[in-house]
Amino acid sequence: MVCNLLEGKKGIIFGALNEKSIAWKVAEKAFEQGAEFVLSNAPAALRFGDISHLAGACNSEVIAADATNVNDLEKVFSGAMDKFGGKIDFVLHSIGM
């Protein structure tokens, strides 16, 4: 059921790799409910997963980042803040190795 619960909310979702990952499912549901978000995962994971498919389906962009690298994380947050005009409402960290 779509009720636009997240209409106008903007965020970052880390860890979507493929259709079996929790972050992927959360991204799909968040998009259905009106959220906008940036997707992120490690550069190596981007080569193995299907995140570009999810990004296309959710009208999102992907910013590669190693979650253990502060400079990479700053790039994700500044990129998301630029895209959304400085406002971030939520962050989903669903990275598992």
Q: What is the pLDDT of residue 97?
A: 59
Architecture of the CATH domain 10-93: 3-Layer(aba) Sandwich (3.40)
3-state secondary structure of 49: coil
Are 17 and 46 a contacting pair, CB within 8 Å?
no
* Mean pLDDT of all residues in 61-83: 96
81-90 per-position pLDDT tens digit: 999 999 999 9
Q: Cβ neighbours of residue 8 under 8 Å, at least 6 residues apart?
A: 34
Closest C-alpha among 72, 82, 31, 75 to residue 54: 31
Q: Where are the domains of the chain?
A: 10-93
Q: What is the pLDDT of residue 49?
A: 80
